[in-house]
Amino acid sequence: MTDEWSAGKLDLDAYLHRIGYAGPAQPCEATLAALHRAHLAAIPFENLDIMLGRPVRVDLESIQAKLVDAGRGGYCYEHGQLFGAALQRLGFEVERLLARVGPDREPMRPRTHLTLRVRAGDSAWLADVGFGNSPPGPLSLHGGRQELNGQVYEVVHDAEDGTWKLRELVEGEWVTQYRTEDQRVYPPDVVMSNHYTSTYPESWFTWQPIVARREPGALRAIVGRGYTITRPGHPKERRQLTDDEFVDALSTIFGLRFTEEELAALVAAPTGPPTAA
């Protein structure tokens, strides 16, 4: 069998150390949930290489060098491949899926999000550690309504178009976060989607810094200079950061370290959409 996604190149021990995980390693729901929580808490979601004018590389060796060895974060193509490789090495069956982000009743968007469908025995889960506001844990594909840390989700199959939808209950209404298709994904598909996401002028990721971290009980995020804290059952906290507060938050809240030159470039990076000429 070929190692299509290069999982054999992962330094599994280094990855587990990076996320602070020393628990059981059997391929079961409890292990998957524990790894999912540990990964989210340890490795931030961020697009800061794009803000620094660097290409985002999505081969596993580059991802490991950045997210594991250098202590950085990344976005879905990086998180999904890293987590998927670790799960494969632990004996889970992993499918990579590309998803279309956005609610129902909106124009169709391109497939710009990488998520995972994970199986062990007769059970299957949607496991997503790279969505920015990822669910706090894996979601059963056989379950219906599921509550995690005070948030309510469901994964439903849409018989009309054959997609699987991740939906979250927001203020009493089900909101579709994204939908996946039962279409096999290959590494070159991720390369193409990543190129679009990281270079297309209208992509959110090309014109503002985005950083997020889900910890137990809270999701902390920066978009541009807007800083939010989301806690289930509480009003969302919002405020605008000064440049100095933005720089401080990168290290103190998100655990990211940059050189003085890199920080100056991040402060100078755009924080809003490009204006029309």
Which residues belong to the active site? 76, 113, 128
Residue by residue, DSSP assigns 228-257 as: EEE-TTSPPEEEEPPHHHHHHHHHHTT---
Q: With CA atoms as reference, report the closest residue to 93 among 77, 76, 117, 128.
A: 117
In this structure, which amino acid lies at residue 131?
Answer: F
Residue 62 has which token pair?
A: 């580059």
Q: Are the C-beta atoms of 129 and 83 separated by less than 8 Å?
A: yes
Q: Are the C-beta atoms of 48 and 122 separated by less than 8 Å?
A: no
Q: With CA atoms as reference, report the closest residue to 130 among 17, 210, 26.
A: 210
Scored b (16 or more CB within 10 A) or e, 81-102 reads: bbbbbbbbbbebebebbbbbbb
Q: How far apart, in whole angstroms, are the C-alpha atoms of residue 69 and residue 158?
A: 40
Burial of 162 by CB count in 10 Å (0-12 exposed, 13-18 middle, 19+ buried)?
Answer: exposed
Instruction: Spell out where 105-200 has E strands.
Output: 111-120, 123-127, 139-140, 146-148, 151-158, 163-170, 173-181
Q: With CA atoms as reference, report the closest residue to 136 among 70, 230, 238, 26.
A: 230
Q: Are the C-beta atoms of 118 and 93 separated by less than 8 Å?
A: yes
